[in-house]
A and B are shown apart, each in its own frame.
Chain A
Amino acid sequence: MIRKRLILLPLLLLIACRHNINTNNPKVVFAALLADASNVTVSVEDGLTTANRVLETIQTSEPEYYNRVKPLIRKISAANVTAALKIQAAKNGGADDWRGALLAVAASVNPNDLRAVGLRNPQTQSVISAAIAGLITVLSSIPDKFGGVR
């Protein structure tokens, strides 16, 4: 079974190597890169919104966790807005360091500080873990996607 699935890997990579643009025009390549970066900021904000909604439901039952994590969610979101605006400015011809701003989003908090530890209710712990999992995954992917190429 694993062998069959491994056969699919080169196929997937081959598909991945196919550019989704029709040209080598640098302006198009740059625009596609900025659009991808912009989509990452949307993924981060979606993760933040999900985490925030769940967080608001436990404000009274888990005040320690809420008070610890809420400022971190706000901090990531503020950094994400900065990155989104710099990506937009770069799209409009500006020389903004959008890549640095995006990496700053990933570095704005330590993901371990978001983890659901020390909660009173074990059920709440699993709900929070699920709520922040997507956010942590997106944040962790940013350096791989945008940290290697300058």
Chain B
Amino acid sequence: MNVVQIITALLPIFAQAAPLLVRDIANLIHGNPQDPNETDDAYIARIGSLVDANVKKIIDEDADIQKG
């Protein structure tokens, strides 16, 4: 059993006991870290742009799926 399997097995337990911890792990995996010198406003603007870019990508790919 490797580390990933152990964590995977434990995640449902944490999901019940500490959803915020699970969310933090997800954040860590996905990673949108705030730069140490980045202001709050700059960070919010940067990841806001990421959300906008994500929406565009999803709509484009959905169009392919719906027509395919």
Q: Which A positions have Cβ atoms within 8 angstroms of B?
A: 2, 5-6, 8-9, 12-13, 15-23, 25, 27-28, 31-36, 38-42, 45, 48-49, 52, 56, 73-74, 77-78, 80-81, 84-85, 87-88, 91, 141, 144-149
Contact = CB atoms under 8 A, between A and B. Distances in A.
A88 B59 CA distance: 12
B64 A17 contact: no
Nearest to A149: B19
Nearest to A141: B26
B44 A27 contact: yes
Nearest to A43: B30
Given A36-B32, A52-B64, 7 more contacts: A8-B3, A39-B32, A39-B54, A41-B54, A77-B62, A141-B26, A145-B26
Contacts of A6: 6
B43 A12 contact: no
B43 A28 contact: yes
B40 A27 contact: yes
Interface in B42-68: 43-44, 47-48, 50-52, 54-55, 57-59, 61-62, 64-66, 68
B65 A48 contact: yes
| Secondary structure call for the A interface | helix
A20 B25 CA distance: 10
A135 to B, nearest CB: 12
Interface of B: 1-3, 6-7, 10-12, 15-16, 19-28, 30-34, 36, 38, 40, 43-44, 47-48, 50-52, 54-55, 57-59, 61-62, 64-66, 68
**Which 3 A-B residue pairs are closest in the complex by CB-CB distance?**
A148-B19, A20-B33, A35-B47
Given A20-B32, A48-B65, A77-B62, A12 B48 contact: no
Contacts of A77: 61-62, 65-66
A37 to B, nearest CB: 9
A149 B65 contact: no
B25 to A, nearest CB: 4
Contacts of B20: 149
